[in-house]
């Protein structure tokens, strides 16, 4: 029986080549989109799940509360893992990671001269007890047990020594310090939240000798014993805080607490808690998952509309089959087999197409498509299930309609297939609601991205270049800066601790002698040239100078370190700009700070956050970045000149400039990816929806062919025919537009709500999206009406 179904289905599909091609194309595009998004979601969801016992591993983060304000950080103190191992019976292992790349790069010399490396971390000897990354060479129990030991990743060993086999036992220098290569490990998987090339023993680091409860600069991980009570563990950590940090909290007026974050949730969690490697907010996975389901639904609706549209052409086939004894279930099975055949064909074509687009998709979205997963046992079952579900859902309604036809009416051309018109119209409304909604979302996202690029940040990022430098270069910086300015390629150069859009350091601050008004403030260490280099606006007072006392030179109460506060900072103090000048301030590390100037607020983090209080002070020991304002003229030539000066004065350090505007744009990479994906899949949704509309127009045109021919004989124009065919569809599109507007308002509020600084919501995203879909829909209807209008009335009316 099924063999017969297959033969008849193939014959029917070949017979109606146009409908078959449209159905196959629509389902294939929908399936490609669905599978690609599913693979992307699987990739993001699988982060860190390759680690054995990943469900028992947690990262320990820290919360600081001061003056009623809470700040969450993804790091904690060096003494924490030691205490957890010694005092907590529910802890199996605990380890520490110190990501040096957050502060600076290192110079590595493996015998071929210095190379700048940024993916460098110190880890303790318990690292491989918690994380069972594969070792290629070396004993995982001892590779990091002594000072000056280092483990390389496989690709790094091949790059530095030619092969991983020859790397162990070799020595290399890191910033002039000798290290022994004791092991080689596989590269960190792409689905690990860690991304390092070098792991050095923490015993080499000075903080390992006497680990303290401050600073909180370390990523600490704990592996719990099976069945450990995490609620009790949190309570025990709170008691630990009271025991070891209680006196400090009382003295300095702050509170702190540690909290756990499951290993498998780090990549999809709060991005500020994982600076090692950019993550993905989990809300985007939910959004993309919904988009994938909507696209596959639109593809199936497209098939339903086209199959229903051609039902009137198959009435005689159904009538003859029933006269010959075919039962309703047999007819149902026959028509479902056609949809199943198309579904399986679309699956095969989608797999082929996925291989063709895998590399472009990776370049487009930044995520590799693991197509090997499709041919794993679970992948094969998933594809089979997907084909069955799509085939059954897409074919159910048309098969039910066709199998219900009565033979006498079918054979006598008295069949009326109108009872389910509301279903078909509802499906078209849904298709275009989704299409318009996705387009509106696309324009809203892009509008916010444009706003973030064009908003006045309070400083100039254009034509500013950033150069990282190592602490051992500090004495050479004045000469380097003078030579660059003298060359005419740079108009101003400043030493700073961070990029101006990514300032992270926090300090406690309060007016001198009044610690009841203490609050947290962001601190930016930079020399006096910062104001000129990035064009900050000084609203009151004056800038500090190089001759003013530095943090490191404060000896007595008469030696005052000048600082600059921003407008939010003085507002938090309760001062006006004029009153603030000359005020003494306690900054935690010194009581001898004095406000010398007030600067206009500028955005020193992403626009997700409001501008908060900031203090700027001069501390060369904190600075590790040169901000260089290029002179007017050819930026390429100026940059080349600066490179020549750099290479001449510091030949052992590579010249790696970064443009400030490009670094700022990278803050919004996840939003850029969302915008690109929305753009792609909203275009696909509109395309498939228009194909569905073509199906319903074809259905109506077939039913009204004689009516249109009579109208034509009576003098109707092509415009009249277009009006006849389009009026009902314009009503459907109007309903879709109303629903899409409601969705767009909700999405805009939800999406923009994540930004403390957001673009104003205007009607243009709604107008452009709805008009674009309307125009494409009318072109589709216009084409079909033109085809009907061209029919010869003599042929269409001869049976009357």
pLDDT score of 106: 85
CB 228 within 8 A of CB 90: yes
Cα(653)–Cα(117) distance, integer angstroms: 11
CB 618 within 8 A of CB 452: no
Cα(620)–Cα(599) distance, integer angstroms: 21
Rounded to whole angstroms, what are the CA distances from 618 to 474, 485, 546, 580, 613?
14, 21, 8, 19, 17
User: What would the pLDDT profile of 751-762 be if each residue is shown by its tens digit?
Assistant: 888 777 888 888
pLDDT score of 12: 63
Cα(755)–Cα(757) distance, integer angstroms: 5
Which of 192-207 are b and which e, b meaning 16 or more Cβ less than 10 Å from the residue's Cβ? bbbbbbbbbbbbbbeb
Q: What angle do CA 679, 684, 685 make, to 5 degrees?
A: 100
Give mean pLDDT, residues 549-559.
62
Looking at per-residue confidence, does 754 or 746 come out higher?
A: 746
Give mean pLDDT, residues 612-626.
87
Give mean pLDDT, residues 497-507.
83
| pLDDT range class, residue 729, cuts 50, 70, 90 | confident
Whether 197 has a pLDDT exceeding 90, the answer reads yes
User: What would the pLDDT profile of 320-365 be if each residue is shown by its tens digit?
Assistant: 555 555 555 666 666 777 778 888 888 999 999 998 888 887 776 6
**Of 362-371, 680-689, 696-705, 734-743, the least confident:** 696-705
Whether 316 has a pLDDT exceeding 80, the answer reads no
Give mean pLDDT, residues 530-545.
92
771: its two tokens: 């008009």
Please state at what angle helix 282-309 crosses helix 669-703, rounded to 10 degrees. Answer: 10
CB 763 within 8 A of CB 741: no
192: its two tokens: 């690990």
CA dihedral 122, 124, 125, 126 (to 10 degrees): -130
CB 465 within 8 A of CB 657: yes
User: What would the pLDDT profile of 418-476 be if each residue is shown by its tens digit?
Assistant: 445 677 778 888 988 999 998 999 898 888 888 888 888 899 999 999 998 877 788 88
Widest Cα–Cα separation across the chain? 111
pLDDT score of 424: 75
Whether 555 has a pLDDT exceeding 80, the answer reads no
Name beta bridge partners: 61.
259
CB 92 within 8 A of CB 224: yes
Looking at per-residue confidence, does 559 or 289 come out higher?
A: 289
| pLDDT range class, residue 415, cuts 50, 70, 90 | very low
CB 328 within 8 A of CB 403: yes
Give mean pLDDT, residues 531-557.
80
Please spell the DSSP secondary structure of 18-74, one letter per residue: HHHHHHHHHHHHHHHHHHHHHHHHHHHHTTTTTSTTGGGEEEEEEEEEETTEEEEES
183: its two tokens: 């092991």
Whether 209 has a pLDDT exceeding 50, the answer reads yes
Three-class SS of 550-569 = CHHHCCCCCCCEEEEEEHHH
User: What would the pLDDT profile of 366-390 be if each residue is shown by its tens digit?
Assistant: 667 888 888 888 889 988 988 888 8
Say how many C-beta atoms besides its own lie within 10 A of residue 340's C-beta: 21
Give mean pLDDT, residues 275-297.
85
pLDDT score of 417: 47
Please spell the DSSP secondary structure of 311-331, one letter per residue: GGGGHHHHHHHHHTT--HHHH
Whether 663 has a pLDDT exceeding 80, the answer reads yes
pLDDT score of 230: 94
Say how many C-beta atoms besides its own lie within 10 A of residue 670's C-beta: 15
pLDDT score of 410: 46
DSSP 203: G
Three-class SS of 389-454 = HHHHHHHHHHHHHHHCCCHHHHHCCCCCCCCCHHHHHHHHHHHHHHHHHHHHHHHHHHHHHHHHHH
Q: Where do the domains of the chain lie?
A: 1-47+278-417, 54-266, 439-455+667-800, 464-666
346: its two tokens: 């679309």
| pLDDT range class, residue 552, cuts 50, 70, 90 | low
Cα(744)–Cα(98) distance, integer angstroms: 44
Name beta bridge partners: 561.
593
CB 559 within 8 A of CB 541: no
| Beta strand pairing call for 255-262 and 198-201 | unpaired
Say what percent of the chain tops pLDDT 90. 32
Cα(333)–Cα(399) distance, integer angstroms: 8
The predicted model scores a pTM of 0.82
Cα(635)–Cα(657) distance, integer angstroms: 12
User: What would the pLDDT profile of 773-798 be if each residue is shown by its tens digit?
Assistant: 888 888 887 776 776 666 656 555 65
Tell me the average pLDDT of the chain. Answer: 83
Give mean pLDDT, residues 15-21.
71
Cα(288)–Cα(743) distance, integer angstroms: 16
Contact residues for 458 (Cβ-Cβ < 8 A; gap 6+): 536, 537, 600, 601, 602, 603, 611
Looking at per-residue confidence, does 662 or 708 come out higher?
A: 662
CA-only gyration radius of the chain, Å: 34
575: its two tokens: 């001062």
Whether 529 has a pLDDT exceeding 80, the answer reads yes
| pLDDT range class, residue 411, cuts 50, 70, 90 | very low
pLDDT score of 332: 64
DSSP 369: -
pLDDT score of 1: 56
Averaging pLDDT over each range in 11-20, 77-86, 552-561, 789-798, which range is the top one? 77-86
16: its two tokens: 């109606």
Alpha helices in 633-758 (DSSP H): 635-649, 660-665, 669-703, 705-713, 718-752
CB 81 within 8 A of CB 59: no
CB 110 within 8 A of CB 162: no
């Amino acid at each position: 029986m099924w063999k017969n179904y297959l033969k008849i289905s193939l014959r029917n599909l070949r017979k109606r080549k146009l409908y078959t091609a449209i159905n196959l194309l629509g389902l294939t595009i929908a399936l490609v989109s669905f599978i690609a998004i599913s693979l992307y979601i699987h990739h993001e969801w699988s982060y860190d799940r390759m680690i054995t016992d990943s469900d028992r591993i947690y990262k320990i983060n820290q919360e600081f509360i001061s003056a009623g304000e809470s700040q969450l950080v993804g790091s904690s103190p060096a003494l924490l893992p030691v205490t957890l191992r010694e005092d907590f019976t529910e802890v199996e292992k605990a380890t520490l990671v110190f990501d040096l790349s957050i502060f600076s790069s290192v110079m590595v010399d493996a015998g071929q001269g210095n190379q700048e490396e940024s993916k460098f971390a110190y880890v303790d000897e318990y690292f491989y007890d918690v994380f069972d990354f594969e070792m290629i060479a070396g004993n995982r129990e001892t590779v990091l047990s002594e000072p000056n030991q280092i483990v390389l990743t496989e690709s790094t060993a091949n790059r530095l020594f030619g092969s991983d086999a020859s790397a162990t036992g070799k020595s290399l220098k890191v910033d002039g310090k000798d290290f022994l290569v004791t092991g080689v490990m596989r590269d960190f998987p792409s689905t690990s939240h860690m991304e390092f090339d070098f792991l050095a023993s923490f015993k080499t680091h000075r903080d390992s000798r006497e680990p303290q409860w401050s600073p909180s600069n370390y990523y600490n991980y704990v592996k719990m014993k099976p069945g450990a009570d995490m609620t009790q563990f949190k309570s025990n950590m709170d008691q630990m805080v009271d025991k070891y940090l209680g006196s400090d909290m009382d003295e300095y007026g702050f509170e702190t607490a540690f909290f756990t974050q499951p290993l498998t949730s780090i990549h999809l969690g709060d991005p500020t808690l994982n600076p090692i490697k950019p993550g993905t907010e989990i809300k985007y996975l939910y959004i993309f998952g919904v988009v994938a389901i909507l696209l596959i639904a639109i593809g199936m609706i497209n098939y339903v509309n086209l199959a229903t549209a051609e039902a009137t052409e198959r009435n005689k086939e159904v009538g003859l089959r029933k006269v010959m004894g075919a039962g309703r279930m047999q007819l149902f099975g026959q028509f479902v087999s056609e949809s199943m055949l198309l579904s399986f064909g679309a699956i095969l074509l989608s797999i082929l197409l996925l291989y063709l687009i895998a590399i472009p998709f990776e370049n487009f979205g930044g995520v590799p498509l693991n197509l090997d997963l499709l041919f794993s046992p679970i992948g094969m079952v998933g594809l089979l299930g997907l084909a069955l579900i799509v085939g059954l859902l897409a074919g159910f309604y048309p098969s039910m309609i066709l199998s219900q036809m009565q033979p006498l009416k079918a054979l006598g051309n008295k069949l009326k297939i109108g009872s389910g018109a509301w279903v078909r119209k509802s499906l078209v409304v849904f298709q275009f609601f989704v299409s318009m909604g996705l387009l509106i979302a696309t324009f809203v996202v892009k509008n916010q991205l444009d706003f973030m690029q064009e908003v006045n940040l309070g400083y100039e990022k254009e034509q500013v270049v950033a150069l990282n430098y190592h602490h051992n270069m500090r004495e050479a910086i004045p000469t380097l800066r003078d030579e660059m300015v003298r060359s005419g390629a740079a108009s101003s150069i400043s030493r700073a601790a961070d990029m101006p859009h990514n300032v992270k350091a926090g300090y406690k601050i309060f007016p001198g002698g009044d610690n009841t008004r203490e609050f947290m403030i962001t601190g930016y260490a930079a020399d006096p040239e910062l104001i000129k280099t990035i064009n900050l606006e000084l609203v009151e007072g004056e800038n500090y100078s190089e001759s003013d006392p530095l943090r490191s030179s404060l000896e007595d109460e008469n030696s005052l370190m000048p600082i600059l506060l921003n407008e939010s900072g003085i507002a938090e103090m309760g001062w006006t700009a004029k009153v603030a000048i000359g005020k003494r301030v306690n900054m935690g590390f010194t009581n001898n700070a004095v406000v010398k100037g007030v600067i206009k607020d500028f955005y020193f983090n992403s626009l997700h956050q409001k501008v908060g209080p900031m203090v700027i002070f001069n501390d060369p020991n904190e600075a590790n970045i040169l901000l260089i304002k290029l002179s007017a003229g050819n930026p390429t030539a100026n940059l080349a000149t600066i490179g020549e000066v750099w290479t001449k004065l510091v030949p052992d350090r590579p010249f790696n400039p970064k443009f400030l505007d490009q670094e700022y744009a990278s803050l919004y990479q996840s939003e850029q990816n969302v915008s690109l994906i929305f753009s792609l899949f909203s275009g696909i949704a509109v395309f498939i929806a228009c194909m569905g509309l073509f199906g319903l127009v074809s259905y109506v045109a077939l039913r009204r062919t004689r009516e249109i021919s009579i109208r034509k004989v009576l003098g109707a124009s092509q415009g009249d025919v277009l009006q006849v065919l389009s009026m009902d569809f314009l009503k459907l599109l109007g309903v879709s537009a109303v629903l899409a507007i409601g969705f767009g308002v909700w999405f805009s509020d939800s999406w923009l709500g994540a930004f403390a600084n957001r673009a104003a919501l205007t009607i243009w995203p709604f107008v452009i999206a709805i008009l674009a879909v309307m125009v494409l829909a009318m072109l589709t209807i216009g084409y079909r009406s033109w085809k009907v209008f061209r029919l010869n009335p003599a042929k269409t009316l001869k049976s009357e």
